[in-house]
Structure 1
Amino acid sequence: MTNDSTEPLDETPIAKRLIIGEPLTSEALDEQLLPKKMALPIFASDALSSVAYAPQELLMILLIGGLSFLAFSPWIAAAVVFLLIVVVVSYRQLIKAYPSGGGDYEVASKNLGEVPAVVVASALLVDYVLTVAVSVASGVDNIISALPGLNPLRVELAVVFIIIIVIVNLRGVREASLVFAIPTYLFIGSVVVMIVVGVIRMILGDPPVASSAQYAVQAESLSQAAVILLILRAFSSGCSALTGVEAVSNGVPAFRKPKVRNAQTTLTLMGTIAIVMFAGLTLLALVSGVHYAENPCHLIGFDCANNPQPSLMAQVASATFGMGSIPFYIIQAATALVLLLAANTAFNGFPLLGSVLARDGYAPKALNTRGDRLVYSNGMILLGLGAILVEIVYQANLTNLIQLYIIGVFVSFSLGQIGMIRHWRRGLRELRALPGEARAQKSARAEEFELRKGLVINSIGATMTVAVLVIVTITKFTHGAWLVFLAIPVLAVLMIGVHRYYRDVEAEIEPDDQTHFGSEGDVALILVNRLQKPVIKALDYALAAKHENTFAIHVSVNKEETDRLQQQWIDHRIPVQLVIIESPYRTFAGPVAGFIKKYREKHGSSVVTVYLPQYIVGHWWESVLHNRRARRIGQQLMMIHGVSINLVPWLLDSTELIYGRRSRPLPGQERSGQIPVESPAHARRVSRPAGPPETERTDTSA
């Protein structure tokens, strides 16, 4: 008889339903796909929000050398903008060639081999964790810039915000997009308005003036080599504006059809908006004279002991609209929100990449399981825990965290672009191998043009990203980035180890013609502690299965309890032989294993089924009050070849909270609580045991 109901057999716990929402059916997956207007805040919030701290980090590094070094900032900003254009155009090609959602990992896997692929995956996973940590720390930094009194609670605020973002994402992609859309578009609109107002004021001869413009800077004396390194370090910090670009290529499966075109359009919009905002904020910061120092105490005249240093965004907003004005607070609120929600990009990229890795056998299979809301909830929880750990270790300090950032993303950029070069070259080789007539066709010529165009674009992208990776490595390695270079290979080795494990398991369990599991008998063992309803239910299950031989096993650790059980066995006329096994060391699984071994020595390699009664509870605290011995014994006995474990559940009345029903007594037990031996059906279920006698006592220790 089949159950055609589409309702779940058990209800979702109330607390989980309130936090995450009602479970969604698999058929609702298409409804969770995103249109472009919702995909932009989901996948582009990281890249868009990075413009809030990328100009700040760029100017901060230059100020180490003094105010005169700010003259390099327009050229460095122009280099960052050019690189962003190259990367966006390159990833448009990648999305077209590999739309399955693997992104740089899939490109490296199919074109460069296993080791580069797991290196890319490791780099992206590390960078996703840092994306969450940096975005949240930057958001908290902007909140503190507007409300300095919250500075002592910096770490606590960061942890709370990460937990909130995890919960929102666990509710599903569609609901998350609705939550994140308004802050993202508010941020874009408010920053663009601020840039326009600032430029107009500059044209009219009334340029905005930042609060820090009056402070001189205590500069370091630098050699010529140090000057070059400082400029390169400023460029590498400015390149943090490129983070999040790869998320769109990893999230193509989440777009509505046509997926490729929608993903490419979203990527282009993201790149255009990010370029306008990055260039505009850098311009306003220079015009208004923002001085943001790595060490606030190096600003001569600034009270660093009692006041936190305002962020670049806060200084530009106050210079443009006035400190304490409504537009100032709108921009600060929008910036803080979008920086906090920028972590959402990672909460989409990390679980999707984790699912691809799990599918390919490089990550635990649990990462490829969708939760109640059709999202990869295990990956989201893992990402949240990793980000919280980073925030606690680094005390949510943006300056320290930013040094670890963008290393991973440029590792994946570089290997992904190199892989795309091989992809286009392979396509050209296959095209040249066609007969001359086929190559002369119009479609073949058009395909060759597309292949050559892709090769040129990705060659430029590879050259630029590899160069930036070298620069970032040189300038950031001694400032803490060495931890990232340590984490990436360690994670890559773990992935390869997981893949080898899954490969070996698959080879071990692969069926072949020689494999058989023949046996000479079939025996059931019901473990009995005291004679109670759960035990009687287990006995009834064993009898209903009609095994060749059935024994009730009692491991004796207390003589009085054993004597009481034997008397109850007689009083209730249980039609199953009771075997008492002495256990002087008070263990359970060991004596049962010894009984199985002796039985097999006497009667051959019998298949053994062990029935274990187990309580099912409705409250979490009830699990603490029960010793869960049945599960522990079962785990130990499963190590014996030819033994299967059958857990017989007994639902306590508290499970009505979860399942909506109480435990029901077995037929005929409403009054007596015993197995009715007068039933001929029950009598026929018991075969005379060929093993130990009915009154046997066995002294078997662990």
Structure 2
Amino acid sequence: MIKHFFIGSPIPTLEQKENRLNKVRALAAFSPDALSSIAYANQEIFLALVVAGSSGLSLSFPIGLAITGLLVLVALSYFQTIQGYPSGGGSYIVARENLGITPGLAAAASLLVDYTLTAAVSLTAGVAAIASSFPILWEYQTPLALFFLLVITIINLRGIRETGTAMAVPVYLFLVTYLLMLAYGVIQALLTDGFVTEFNTLPASKPLSTLLILEAFSAGCTALTGIEAISNGVPVFEKPEVKNAGKTLLIMAFLMALLFVGSIGLTQFLNVLPEGQETILSALAHRILGNGFGYILIQISSTLILVVAANTSFAGFPRLAAILASDGFLPKPLTQLGDRLVYSYGIVTLSALTGLLIILFKGDSHALVPLFAVGVFVSFTLSQSGMVLHWWKTRGKNWKLKLTVNGIGAIATGCATLVIGSTKFLKGAWISILLIPLIVHMFYKVRDHYQSTAAQLSLSRINQKRKKEIQSFSSLRVVLPISSLHIGIVEAVKIAKQISDNIQAVYIEIEPDSGIEVKEKWEKYFQEIPLVILPSPYRSIISPLLDYLDKYDRESADNQLAAVILPELIPAKRWHQILHNQSARLIKSSLLYRRRNLGFQRVIIDVPYHLNE
């Protein structure tokens, strides 16, 4: 089968515990977004400061250090989250259990928005990285991003272990090439006295202001996206899960800080300026490595890590969606494991949402970036605030130190949220700010539906009166709608005779007098079953039938509704369906979703007749 060719053969449920990740594969599966965020974070800081010329760009490194300090606080917070909540769920679980359901749902909504936007930004930034080396590709930003999205989706549908293995090559290639480049850049600068702290040749188009600095800081905070993913996926680690997840998080945070500080520091100190549409990291690689093989390798590794960075979202979104669904806030199918022991519905949902964003924003990562930083920092703040209350309530070993770390982190990320929200509001952050409460409202609507459904299906509703009504039913009345007389009707009549001796056939007369010929044929083959001809002056099939059923049930007064048997022709091929009317399906749909009358349910029996090819 095509499905098995792309996704692989089904895996037995018993192998679920064996399908875990060691630290090497886990770092590859969960860290690409966090590690690669230096690409668009550095780019956004540069674009925010370049308008202030030399004085603006000279602040790149100090802003980078401030963001790195924030990174350390957030990493320590999520390290403690892993220890306190080893079952996964991250910000949602922490906020829900300590702050309440609504804050928890707000954190979940923020993360779902962030995961979707992160996938879109990563893929479009990956296309931008390779297009910086091959400018002809700028014209194909959207198709290329969608192609990469399809590849990542298929890889994730194949399963956790295969995903970790597939991600390992791009992730470790990126780490090796970038760390070597940064080390060579530092040596090169030291040996040639290449450090330059001012961009002397760049004029300013705007004055340097506090607002501009805050905008650059908020833009650079996108470097922190993806750091929470490991806390959401603790259960997929090999045993001991908590220990392995904690170590992986600390390693990831260290590498993030090293890459971010190193790249932004060299960009400033080497006076790096891009040309045309080139990205700032491409310009840095040009400055250090020239135009040779080393530069091409860096750009390829950048593209690959940015493309697979979307995998962080594919690791986090389906798992968080499954947790929300198990709590009744999202559709239940999201909890179901697919053939390869992954949450297939969640993966496909994320892929569809990401593809929609890529198309709407025409593959432009710069246009997408302002939307998603605010969401992730809302979840950071709620998570750390929840951890403060967690330590206050549990008061375990070193609880005061832990509470202090999370308290400082909550204040810092809260302030960052306000800065990001205010400086990026008109540039697109308002969309995320509006979406989060709307998604929370949707969560509650979904839960209300499930609670209402559970109440309606409860066996406690079968009281003594209803038991007597069930027992007092007389022979079932059957109504058999027909559109014409054919062999498929014979099968439906057989079924009707097996369950009842009280049968009525009904023909809706769309064309005047067309029922005469139908009745003659009917009486020839089924004279023992009465046929009712219903005129339809407005050529409707549904309304006359429903009106007849209501009238028939009222007149019968036997405490039940007539059963409806629907003959349905099933073509040999799916596309053949467009060659036939869909009367049976329309009738069935109308009967299913129409409010019941007289307090009883109507039985609908579909009798398919399969046509040969």
- Which residue number corresponds to residue 531 of structure 1? 485
CA shift at 1:135, angstroms? Answer: 0.8
Q: Is the CA contact (8 Å cut-off) linking 2:42 and 2:281 kept in structure 1?
A: no
Deviation digits for residues 624-674 of structure 1 (CA, Å, limit 9, x no counterpart) = 2222211110121232342121112233335xxxxxxxxxxxxxxxxxxxx
Counterpart amino acid of 2:438? V
Deviation digits for residues 375-398 of structure 1 (CA, Å, limit 9, x no counterpart) = 323332332232233223333223
Counterpart amino acid of 2:137? L
Counterpart amino acid of 1:321? L
Structure 2: how far apart are the matches of 1:71 and 1:602? 88
Provide closer, same or farther for how the CA distance between residues 289 and 123 of structure 1 changes in structure 2, counting only shifts above 3 A.
same
Structure 1: how far apart are the matches of 2:232 and 2:115? 12
CA shift at 1:409, angstroms? Answer: 0.4
CA shift at 1:561, angstroms? Answer: 5.5
Does structure 1 residue 29 correspond to structure 2 residue 16? yes
- Which residue number corresponds to residue 107 of structure 1? 94
Deviation digits for residues 341-395 of structure 1 (CA, Å, limit 9, x no counterpart) = 1111112211222222222222233333333333323332332232233223333
CA shift at 1:514, angstroms? Answer: 5.3
Structure 2: how far apart are the matches of 1:415 and 1:230? 27
Structure 2: how far apart are the matches of 1:215 and 1:613? 83
Instruction: Give the alignment partner of residue 270 of structure 1, picking from 252, 255, 259.
Output: 252
- Which residue number corresponds to residue 299 of structure 2? 332
Structure 2: how far apart are the matches of 1:627 and 1:99? 55
Deviation digits for residues 122-169 of structure 1 (CA, Å, limit 9, x no counterpart) = 211111121012111211111110101111222232233223322332
- Which residue number corresponds to residue 415 of structure 2? 467
Does structure 1 residue 240 correspond to structure 2 residue 222? yes
Instruction: Give the alignment partner of residue 231 of structure 1, picking from 208, 213, 222.
Output: 213
Structure 1: how far apart are the matches of 2:187 and 2:112? 43
Does structure 1 residue 318 correspond to structure 2 residue 266? no
- Which residue number corresponds to residue 443 of structure 1? none
Instruction: Give the alignment partner of residue 84 of structure 1, picking from 54, 71, 77.
Output: 71
- Which residue number corresponds to residue 643 of structure 1? 602
Secondary structure of residue in 1 paired with 2:16: helix
1:157-172 equivalent positions in 2, closer than 5 A: 157-172=144-159
Deviation digits for residues 160-198 of structure 1 (CA, Å, limit 9, x no counterpart) = 322332233233333322322211111111111111222
Deviation digits for residues 461-486 of structure 1 (CA, Å, limit 9, x no counterpart) = 21221122122223222333222212
Counterpart amino acid of 1:651? H
Counterpart amino acid of 2:582? R
Counterpart amino acid of 2:433? F
CA shift at 1:534, angstroms? Answer: 2.5
TM-score by length of 1: 0.80
Structure 2: how far apart are the matches of 1:235 and 1:181? 31
Structure 2: how far apart are the matches of 1:157 and 1:454? 45
1:358-437 equivalent positions in 2, closer than 5 A: 358-428=325-395
Question: What stretches of structure 2 of length at least 5 have no aligned partner?
Answer: none
- Which residue number corresponds to residue 313 of structure 2? 346
Counterpart amino acid of 1:327? G
Provide closer, same or farther for how the CA distance between residues 155 and 419 of structure 1 changes in structure 2, counting only shifts above 3 A.
same
CA shift at 1:408, angstroms? Answer: 0.4
Structure 2: how far apart are the matches of 1:352 and 1:389? 21
- Which residue number corresponds to residue 183 of structure 1? 170
Does structure 1 residue 488 correspond to structure 2 residue 436? yes
Structure 2: how far apart are the matches of 1:588 and 1:36? 63
CA shift at 1:513, angstroms? Answer: 5.2
Deviation digits for residues 546-590 of structure 1 (CA, Å, limit 9, x no counterpart) = 335233333333467544444444444576444443434333333
Q: Is the CA contact (8 Å cut-off) linking 1:198 and 1:207 kept in structure 2?
A: no
CA shift at 1:607, angstroms? Answer: 4.1
Counterpart amino acid of 1:645? I
Question: What stretches of structure 1 of length at least 5 have no aligned partner?
Answer: 1-13, 293-301, 303-307, 429-447, 655-702
Does structure 1 residue 552 correspond to structure 2 residue 505? yes
Does structure 1 residue 452 correspond to structure 2 residue 420? no
After alignment, is 122-131 or 30-39 more displaced?
Answer: 30-39
Structure 1: how far apart are the matches of 2:612 and 2:166? 40
Deviation digits for residues 478-529 of structure 1 (CA, Å, limit 9, x no counterpart) = 3332222122222222222332333333333333255425353312223222
- Which residue number corresponds to residue 546 of structure 2? 593
Structure 2: how far apart are the matches of 1:273 and 1:488? 31
Provide closer, same or farther for how the CA distance between residues 615 and 41 of structure 1 changes in structure 2, counting only shifts above 3 A.
farther
Counterpart amino acid of 1:483? I
CA shift at 1:412, angstroms? Answer: 0.3
Secondary structure of residue in 1 paired with 2:383: helix
Between Structure 1 and Structure 2, the one with more helix by share is: 2
Among the aligned pairs, what percent are the same residue? 37
Number of matched residues?
600
Secondary structure of residue in 1 paired with 2:50: helix
Deviation digits for residues 305-342 of structure 1 (CA, Å, limit 9, x no counterpart) = xxx3221221222222221x112111101101110111
Q: Is the CA contact (8 Å cut-off) linking 2:53 and 2:199 kept in structure 1?
A: no
Structure 2: how far apart are the matches of 1:590 and 1:624? 23
Secondary structure of residue in 2 paired with 1:216: coil
Structure 2: how far apart are the matches of 1:149 and 1:98? 48
Q: Is the CA contact (8 Å cut-off) linking 1:50 and 1:243 kept in structure 2?
A: yes
Deviation digits for residues 391-423 of structure 1 (CA, Å, limit 9, x no counterpart) = 233332232222223110000000111011111
Counterpart amino acid of 1:156? P
Structure 2: how far apart are the matches of 1:119 and 1:244? 18
Does structure 1 residue 96 correspond to structure 2 residue 83? yes
Counterpart amino acid of 1:71? S
Instruction: Give the alignment partner of residue 217 of structure 1, picking from 178, 202, 220.
Output: 202
